[in-house]
Chain A
Amino acid sequence: EAGVTQFPSHSVIEKGQTVTLRCDPISGHDNLYWYRRVMGKEIKFLLHFVKESKQDESGMPNNRFLAERTGGTYSTLKVQPAELEDSGVYFCASSPGLLNYGYTFGSGTRLTVV
């Protein structure tokens, strides 16, 4: 089966610009997650979709971040306007269930805000 696909793989933008990251989960996986690793720090949870609904967005850092999952398929994460501290690697993952399933991660998008 195809894995979780993320693009772009890298993005360099200026402070104040907008960037949209995309994630295509494994087909049939209802659960989709976004995570972020800021340089040298832990991988942190951002939010969790079940199908098209936001199940948990407690990790979203502020209202400059907007995530959507149209039709319960692919998801986008938009950062507007981007700030320097938003730089890091953004990972998307999907899973068919909640507790006993390991998540399948994409390769990540490395975002650099200059």
Chain B
Amino acid sequence: GNSVTQMEGPVTLSEEAFLTINCTYTATGYPSLFWYVQYPGEGLQLLLKATKADDKGSNKGFEATYRKETTSFHLEKGSVQVSDSAVYFCALIAYSGAGSYQLTFGKGTKLSVIP
């Protein structure tokens, strides 16, 4: 089946530090890859996406590159801010084998940024 593995948290960083959250996947066929973010008290928001190999998704200073050869989609940001504190979910959409395409999530990584 399809699955997403992302680094365990929580992750605590100082403001302006570099962020990497690792994500690897296994999937049927050729998935599309996503990062979602959940800020405290809010719902899930799409942060960025990539739909084919070597695509780079970017948004709000965050980036992730679809690496087919390593089945990875690591999230990076050069300089985090306190407002980036949230839970980050790596996810993919691929054929589920049950008649539809499903969005499959990793377990989430909680990021706390301290001033």
Question: What residues make up the interface of A, taking CB atoms closer than 8 Å to B?
Answer: 33, 35, 41-45, 48, 50, 55-56, 58-59, 91, 93, 98-100, 102-108
Contacts and interface: CB of A to CB of B under 8 A. Distances in A.
B103 A33 contact: yes
B44 A56 contact: no
Contact of A99 (B45, B101, B104): B101
Contacts of A102: 34, 36, 46, 49
Contacts of B106: 42
Q: Which secondary structure dominates where chain B touches chain A?
A: strand
B99 A56 contact: yes
23 contacts: A33-B103, A35-B105, A41-B107, A42-B105, A43-B89, A45-B103, A48-B100, A55-B99, A56-B96, A56-B98, A56-B102, A58-B96, A58-B98, A98-B101, A100-B51, A100-B93, A102-B34, A102-B46, A103-B103, A104-B46, A105-B43, A107-B43, A108-B43
Contacts of A56: 96, 98-100, 102
B71 to A, nearest CB: 17
B69 interface: no
Nearest to B30: A99
Interface of B: 32, 34, 36, 42-46, 49, 51, 89, 93, 96, 98-108
A99 B103 contact: no
Nearest to A40: B107
A99 B102 CA distance: 9
Nearest to B93: A99
Contacts of A99: 32, 51, 93, 101
Given A98-B100, A102-B34, A105-B44, A43 B93 contact: no
Nearest to A91: B44
Nearest to B95: A99
B101 A93 contact: no
B87 to A, nearest CB: 10
Contacts of B101: 98-99
Contacts of B42: 107
A107 B38 CA distance: 9
Contacts of B45: 105
